[in-house]
Structure 1
Amino acid sequence: MKSVQSPLAIGISTLAPGLALCLIGTAVALGVNRLLPTVSPLLIAIVLGAVLTNVLHLPELVRPGLTFSAKRILRVGVALLGLQLLLSDILTLGWGVSLVVVAIVFLGIVGTMFVGKLLGLTWTQRLLIACGFSICGAAAVAAVDGVADAKEEEVLTAVALVVIFGTLMIPTIPLLSRVLGLSDTDAGLWAGGSIHEVAQAVAAAGAIGGTALGVAAVIKLARVLMLAPLIAVLSMRQRRLAGRGADVKRPPLIPLFVLAFLVCVGLRSTGILPADLLAHAKTLQTALLTAAMFALGAGVRIETIRKVGARPFILATVSTVLVASVALTGVLLTDADLGS
């Protein structure tokens, strides 16, 4: 007599190979990060996944687990990212710097969308690049994909561009800061305001100095906070486009992971969470995001990047310059002093 597996058991067995691969990739990335602390495990994981999928032919049985990691696990990691953000830190920036953060995100998205339209790119491709470069890199790309229903190749292209251009920004911002004669505080503000990923911004600011590292982290997390209202606006747009009716599937007004992110921000800001719990949560969040980045990297195939052509790369270049220019202009205008 045949044994009948439950749907849960079937689901777990389907996801297991890909999740196991992500676990191995995460362990390797975290191990390399221990040896090279200045290199983000998230960046290592993306590169590792991309190299693996382009050098070896990954079997199809790992795909369900990789997809699960790139979507579900990443959303949990983004939600836990809220535990790093204190609203009091954002308030200490002052109105001037806070307005600069809003300007970076708003002008970065609007400008990128406009140039992308001139280049003839699809709305979703433009949106993924705009949000990834203006807010928080691959996490923003994946979050936007959750409500915008983009094509897989558009998502993977945006992630690849975040990796390439964000990594190039790590040595560029410290170098240009010295050339321009910026103070460590202003250089940190510029790094946090212009670089795509949180980890990339921290790496660049760390190369500048301790003062830069502190302000860069706050500015970058302030940009991350802008992800919540953006996703809510996009979700409302998608609900309106979906229309009404019993057969119509409409996205939630605020996706669950964004709500969880805001709850985490609120909990951290109350000060009731013990330091040990926050430390463990940060370790878990890093591990989850590393696993998700490995899965995203494993979807980046060279032939896919070649197929999309030069236009996304042109848009990524324009977006990088635009966001960095708005951030630098804001820093110079406010000339903020955060107590350095």
Structure 2
Amino acid sequence: MSSLANAAPQHRLARFTRHVTAVTPGLLLTAAIAAASIALHALPGAANLSPMLLAIVIGILGHNLIGTPAWAMPGVKLSLRRVLRFAIILLGLQLTTDQLIEVGGEGLAIIAATLLATFGFTTWLGRRLGVERKLAELIAAGTSICGASAIIATNTVTRADDEDVAYGVACVTVFGSAAMITLPLLAAPLGLDARTFGLWTGASIHEIAQVVAAAFQAGPDAGEFGTIAKLSRVAMLAPLVIGLGMLARARLRHAPGSAGHAAPPMPWFVLGFVAMIGVNHLVAIPGGVKSEIVALTTFMLSMALAAMGLETDLRKLAARGLRPALLGLAAALFVASFSLTLIKLTGWHG
């Protein structure tokens, strides 16, 4: 009996060792691409390019020009799953409940209404344009919440192709960058004060970095409030992804011929995201430590996007055509105009 008892731990150790050996090369590859993307982001003139965007571009170029080697695939897939989910959990440490309180009930209502309306409009228009449902959902999530992070989080339940994810990331990057340039030019003609402009940018621009770049052009008060408003919007990622997971499971249960198909997993990792918001509220994390956590989160999200790129075939991406791009443009125009209309109608001034 003792020999059998000793054999079980040895077998588990051997299996673990084989797993580590299999995934390490691919993890190192995605980590190297993430490091390169962060280094490129630090170059003059590249500050407005998200490291996540740069990582997926490098991954796509590598896959389509050279090919993703078979020895890297286990680690690439791990980056797309475990690394991604842990990064989204860490994203919660960038938020506190105090920040949500600072935005106020009316401000949060404007952000939430804009999110729901944008998601609903984008998925509805996607159907009218003939855009495949999964791709439309990814563009809707990226536009209504937080760009690439929302797209890859939503895809844990949407289960779209990697080419759909790449297309969605491209849409939110292009149209979010356009909003980042355009909205500051409209602040004075629209008569927006600093905090009102901050709320508008936080409620409508796609990526956190794009919001920061746009809002601070109207001064530090606008920049700080825009960042807080955007982070409040990011907090709504958790209920949206859980809700989409429940819809996906219900859709599969009622679909004909669905027997034998695995149901989309419930995204329980977003509860970890919510828990980290609570931890950040209760525990005073030193500024230096928080900066390191933000950097680690960006690095891990860039690893996930690098992995996505390493599985993306440009020929399949091109086959999606221009209709999803038109959907991304329409969604960007809707989120900006709808949020501004609510701000004006409510007379919100912070």
If the length of structure 2 is used for normalisation, what is the TM-score?
0.85
Distance 1:298 1:238 in 2: 26
Match of 1:83 in 2: 93
Match of 2:290 in 1: 278
Q: Kindly state the Cα deviation for residue 320 of structure 1 after the two structures are TM-superposed.
A: 0.8
- Residues 1:157 and 2:133 aligned together: no
- Residues 1:125 and 2:146 aligned together: no
Superposed CA deviations along residues 193-244 of structure 1, whole A, max 9, x for unmatched, are 1111222222222344322221111111111111111122222223334449
Match of 1:269 in 2: 281
Question: CA 1:280 to 1:115, structure 2 compared with 1: closer, same or farther past 3 Å?
Answer: same
Q: Select the residue among 22, 34, 51 that pairs with 1:14.
A: 22
- Residues 1:26 and 2:38 aligned together: no
Larger Rg: 2
Output the amino acid matched with 1:260: G
Match of 1:101 in 2: 111
Q: Kindly state the Cα deviation for residue 299 of structure 1 after the two structures are TM-superposed.
A: 4.3
- Residues 1:186 and 2:196 aligned together: yes
Distance 2:211 2:77 in 1: 27
Distance 2:81 2:173 in 1: 18
Is the CA contact 1:160–1:300 (under 8 Å) kept in the aligned structure 2? Answer: no
Q: Counterparts of 1:120-269 in structure 2 under 5 Å?
A: 120-243=130-253, 249-251=262-264, 253=266, 255-269=267-281
Question: CA 1:192 to 1:296, structure 2 compared with 1: closer, same or farther past 3 Å?
Answer: farther
Match of 1:313 in 2: 325
Match of 2:304 in 1: 292
Match of 2:7 in 1: none
- Residues 1:114 and 2:116 aligned together: no
Question: CA 1:19 to 1:207, structure 2 compared with 1: closer, same or farther past 3 Å?
Answer: farther
Question: CA 1:108 to 1:181, structure 2 compared with 1: closer, same or farther past 3 Å?
Answer: same
**Unaligned runs of at least 5 residues, structure 2:** 1-10
Q: Kindly state the Cα deviation for residue 276 of structure 1 after the two structures are TM-superposed.
A: 4.3
Is the CA contact 1:42–1:199 (under 8 Å) kept in the aligned structure 2? Answer: no
> Which shifted more, 310-319 or 63-72?
63-72
Question: CA 1:188 to 1:38, structure 2 compared with 1: closer, same or farther past 3 Å?
Answer: farther
Is the CA contact 1:97–1:330 (under 8 Å) kept in the aligned structure 2? Answer: no
Q: Kindly state the Cα deviation for residue 180 of structure 1 after the two structures are TM-superposed.
A: 3.2
Question: CA 1:186 to 1:280, structure 2 compared with 1: closer, same or farther past 3 Å?
Answer: same
Distance 2:57 2:189 in 1: 30
- Over the aligned positions, Cα root-mean-square deviation in angstroms equals 2.7
Aligned residues: 334
Superposed CA deviations along residues 104-144 of structure 1, whole A, max 9, x for unmatched, are 11000110111111112222222111111111112211222
Is the CA contact 1:192–1:217 (under 8 Å) kept in the aligned structure 2? Answer: yes
Distance 1:114 1:90 in 2: 30
SS at match of 1:100: helix
SS at match of 2:319: helix
